[in-house]
Amino acid sequence: MNIHQSCRRRCQIRLLLQGPSGSGKTMSALLIAHGLAAGHWPKIVVIDSENGSAELYADLGAYNVLTLSPPYTPERYVQAIEACELAGMEVIIIDSMTHCWEYLLDYHAGLPGNSFTAWGKVTPRHTAFVNRILRSPAHVIATVRSKTEYVLSEKNGRQVPEKVGMKIIQREGIDYEFSVVLELDLRNNATASKDRTQLFREQPAFRPGQSTGESLRSWCEQGSPTKWEQIHQVIKKCQNLDEMASLYYSLSSAEQAEFRPAFQDQKQHLQAVALAPSSLGNNQLFIQPNPTLNHGNLTHSA
């Protein structure tokens, strides 16, 4: 255990958008992502479990889509996130997390024995999914569905349903894991129910857009560089392929996989300026431009 002085470091945003059907979750996520990606649509990807709804907005720009089909297991969501990272995506939109939770609820219902004991087989799988979101080097925007919640109250001697607000279709307490939680209404307006950035503190309802993403990006870039950024900077400073090879093999296997797209970009840059090729030719630093996932493909929106 080490005690160290607090230090504000750069970070990636973890944003949760929640709202009922028709509240504009997907569109809002795309516009915010555009601001987070500094206006570069090709650096944005949507992990789409909403039956292709992400491509309805393809006129916005050339963002990418990775389509998920059932079963919506936590493990497949994790694979999708990793595929997006390997493709060099800077903003990952998960649309939506609700399908994963509904799968786990069905899985739990089918387990034999005591219900409480059965949760011991469910909770770790969901926790692993959430932890993978938190570890991602990309900005992550996740959407969740919500529904109107009612309680029975007594009026004039009768039990009548009374609307008490919106309830998200997701594991209780999921909002603790995100830096910002925005609640969307049917007019596509957002209010912040949680805001670690303080950008939306005491702000009235607003319509999320590119400027929202730009503000979040500016907040994330405050502070000292993270280890992830430092390694990226070192990669970009490599002057030849031998330096790249030395740096590549000094990293752990997990880091090699994470930074492979950056190595590939730098290698292409060096070749473009006619530097002599070296021993990296067979070092397996290549990735497929459109990584695939079981039942899913990362493609450009069209």
**Which of 176, 208, 223 is a domain's end point?**
223
Same domain, 18 and 89: yes
Full domain range(s) for residue 263:
227-282
Task: Please indicate, yes or no, if residue 287 is contained in any of the structural domains.
Answer: no
Q: Which pLDDT band holds residue 286 (cuts at 50, 70, 90)?
A: very low
Same domain, 201 and 78: yes
Task: Please indicate, yes or no, if residue 129 is contained in any of the structural domains.
Answer: yes
**What is the domain-level CATH number for residue 165?**
3.40.50.300
Q: Quote the pLDDT of residue 295.
A: 41
Residue 141 burial (10 A CB sphere; 0-12, 13-18, 19+) = buried
Q: Quote the pLDDT of residue 291.
A: 38
Task: Please indicate, yes or no, if residue 211 is contained in any of the structural domains.
Answer: yes
Encoded tokens for 179 = 């830096």
Between residues 9 and 139, which one has the greater pLDDT? Answer: 139
Q: How many domains does the chain have?
A: 2
Task: Please indicate, yes or no, if residue 64 is contained in any of the structural domains.
Answer: yes
Q: What angle do CA 232, 38, 140 make, to 5 degrees?
A: 70
CA distances from 186 to 23, 144, 233, 251 (A): 4, 15, 43, 48
Same domain, 212 and 232: no
Note the pLDDT tens digit of each residue in 247-267.
999 998 888 888 888 898 888
Same domain, 190 and 70: yes
Q: How far is CA 79 from the centre of its chain?
A: 12
Task: Please indicate, yes or no, if residue 158 is contained in any of the structural domains.
Answer: yes
Same domain, 159 and 264: no
Same domain, 39 and 187: yes
Percent of the chain with pLDDT over 90: 58
Same domain, 146 and 256: no
